[in-house]
Amino acid sequence: MSGSLATLQGATHTLVNVRKMDGRKKKRWIYTICFLVGTITALNVWSEIHNGQPYWHTLFGSLVLGLGIFLILWVVSLISAGTWPTALQCMMLILSCIMGSISFGQWLGFTVQEAGKGEDVTVKDKVLSDVKVVAVLARHTILLQDKFILVVPTADISQFKSHADPLLKAIHN
């Protein structure tokens, strides 16, 4: 997650500087950046499909980063113009925020669903097997088990037991 935020910040700084360039140079930079990002995403998805791995988290992650950069640049342009946004701009900004929230939720959901192996979680006196951890919050923990979302009090969880890959076990021993 922190790598995504650092990428978002770096890309936004680059595009803010591109905004200050003249027309022809600006267009060349924007095309180059879009081509590189599109190529990297396409190659990532292609390799995941080719290796039989899930790829939706990559597509939605790229969409979230793109929407984040777009929203930041839009707000910066509104601030630098020094005027209040029109009603249409406000409506588009709200719709973009909603789309960003939906895309972020999809990205998080597909990332958890497409993650490797589940864990064994001990809740009070019973063990939930092959559970994927969505989020651990102060009062509740959200788990995914067989396409069902489970919300349990965090205080009731006594143990998380991960199923390590046999190759990783051999390396650590």
Q: Which domains does the chain have, with CATH numbers?
A: 2-113 (no CATH), 119-172 (2.30.30)
Q: What is the pLDDT of residue 91?
A: 93
Residue 121, helix vs strand vs coil: strand
What region does 147 belong to: left with phi over 0, alpha with psi -120 to 50, or beta?
Answer: left
Reply yes or no on whether the pLDDT at 126 is more than 50.
Answer: yes
Q: First CA to last CA across the chain, in angstroms?
A: 30
Instruction: Give the pLDDT score at 130.
Output: 83
Most confident stretch, 17-21, 74-78, 97-101, 118-122:
97-101
- What mean pLDDT, rounded, does the chain reach? 79
CA distance 157 to 5: 30
Residue-wise pLDDT tens digits, 40-99? 888 878 887 777 777 777 888 888 888 887 888 788 888 888 888 899 989 998 998 898
Contact (Cβ atoms closer than 8 angstroms) between residue 11 and residue 65: yes
What pLDDT, on the 0 to 100 scale, is given for residue 168?
Answer: 47
Note the pLDDT of residue 98.
92
Q: Residue 69, class by beta-carbon neighbours within 10 Å (0-12 exposed, 13-18 middle, 19+ buried)?
A: buried
Rounded alpha-carbon distances, angstroms, from residue 38 to 34, 62, 130, 163: 6, 9, 35, 35
Please name every residue paired with 162 in a beta bridge, in sequence order, or none if there are none.
119
